[in-house]
Amino acid sequence: MDKKNELLVRVYFVMFVFILFAVLILGRVVKITLYEGDKWRAKANAYVKWMEKKVDRGDIYDANGNLLATSLPFFDVRMDLLVSSDAVFGNNIDSLAICLGKLWPNGKPASKWKAELIQGRYAGKNKTKKGMSYFHIADGVNLDDMEKLKKFPIFREGRYGGGLIVERTTKREKPFREIASRTIGTDRPNAQNVGLEDSFDKFLRGKTTKQLMKRIKENLWVPVQNPAEFDAKKGDDIITTLDINLQDVVHTELLKAVTKEQAKAGTAILMEVETGAIKAISNLERSKSKESFFEEYNYGVGQMTEPGSTLKIATMMALMEDSCVALNDKVKVYGGKKRFYGETMYDSEKHGKDEMTVAEIFKFSSNVGIATLADQCFNKDWNTRQKFTDYYRKFGLDKKTGIEINGEENPYIKDAKEDRKSFWLTSVPWMAHGYEMHFSPLQILNFYNAIANGGKKMKPYLVESIVREGKTLHEFHPKIVDESIASRETIRKAQELLHSVVKSGTGRRLKSEEFSFAGKTGTTKVDYDKEKEGVKKKYNASFAGYFPAENPQYSLIVVIYEPSVSYYGSSVAGPVFRNIAEKCNSLYFKNQLKEQMAEMKDFMIEKKQSGFGEDYDQLMAYMDVDYHRASRATWVDLLPSEEEVKMDKKRILKNEIPDVRGMGMRDATYVLESLGLKVKCEGLGKVVKQNIRPGTKNVGQEIELILN
Q: Which of 130-134, 235-239, 641-645, 678-682 has the highest mean pLDDT?
A: 235-239
Do 650 and 636 form a contact (C-beta atoms < 8 A)?
yes
Query: 246-588: which CATH topology?
Result: Beta-lactamase (3.40.710)
Label residues 572-598 b or e (16+ Cβ within 10 Å = b).
Answer: bbbbbbbbbbbbbbeebeeeeeeeebe
Do 462 and 476 form a contact (C-beta atoms < 8 A)?
no
Looking at the DSSP bridge assignments, the partners of residue 266 are: 284, 560
Say if residue 214's pLDDT is above 90: no
Do 208 and 52 form a contact (C-beta atoms < 8 A)?
yes
Q: Taking residues 545-554, report their average pLDDT.
A: 94
Helix/strand/coil percentages in the chain, nearest 5: 40, 25, 35
Q: Taking residues 609-625, report their average pLDDT.
A: 74
Do 463 and 238 form a contact (C-beta atoms < 8 A)?
yes
Q: How much is the pLDDT for 405?
A: 94
Q: Which of 524, 356, 373 is nearest to 441 (CA)?
A: 524
> Tens digit of pLDDT for each residue in 627-643?
778 878 888 887 766 56
CATH of 51-179+209-236, one of 3.90.1310, 2.40.30, 3.30.200, 2.60.40: 3.90.1310
Looking at the DSSP bridge assignments, the partners of residue 704 are: 680
Say if residue 600's pLDDT is above 70: no
- CA dist., res. 435 & res. 429, Å (int): 9
Q: How much is the pLDDT for 603?
A: 44
Q: How much is the pLDDT for 604?
A: 46
Say if residue 259's pLDDT is above 80: yes
> Tens digit of pLDDT for each residue in 155-191?
998 877 888 888 888 888 999 988 999 999 988 776 6
Looking at the DSSP bridge assignments, the partners of residue 79 are: 135, 164
- CA dist., res. 443 & res. 333, Å (int): 30
- CA dist., res. 298 & res. 61, Å (int): 19
Say if residue 582's pLDDT is above 70: yes
- CA dist., res. 673 & res. 149, Å (int): 69
Say if residue 85's pLDDT is above 80: yes
- CA dist., res. 661 & res. 689, Å (int): 6
Sign of the torsion angle spanned by Cα atoms 110, 113, 116, 120: negative
Tell me the three-class secondary structure of 491-543, residue by residue.
HHHHHHHHHHHHHHCCCHHHCCCCCCCEEEEEEEEECHHHCCCCCCCEEEEEE
Q: Which of 530, 534, 521, 527 is nearest to 560 (CA)?
A: 521
> Tens digit of pLDDT for each residue in 104-146?
988 899 999 999 999 888 887 776 655 456 788 999 999 889 9
> Tens digit of pLDDT for each residue in 462-489?
999 999 988 999 999 999 999 999 999 9
Say if residue 217's pLDDT is above 70: no
Say if residue 694's pLDDT is above 50: yes
Q: Residues near 282 by Cβ (< 8 Å), separated by ≥ 6?
A: 179, 180, 247, 250, 251, 254, 255, 266, 267, 268, 269, 295, 300
> Tens digit of pLDDT for each residue in 388-402?
999 999 999 999 999
Do 158 and 164 form a contact (C-beta atoms < 8 A)?
yes
Distance of CA 152 to the CA centre of its chain: 40
> Tens digit of pLDDT for each residue in 358-385?
999 999 999 999 999 999 999 999 999 9
Q: Taking residues 493-520, report their average pLDDT.
A: 93
Q: Taking residues 493-499, report their average pLDDT.
A: 97
pTM, whole model, 2 decimals? Answer: 0.74
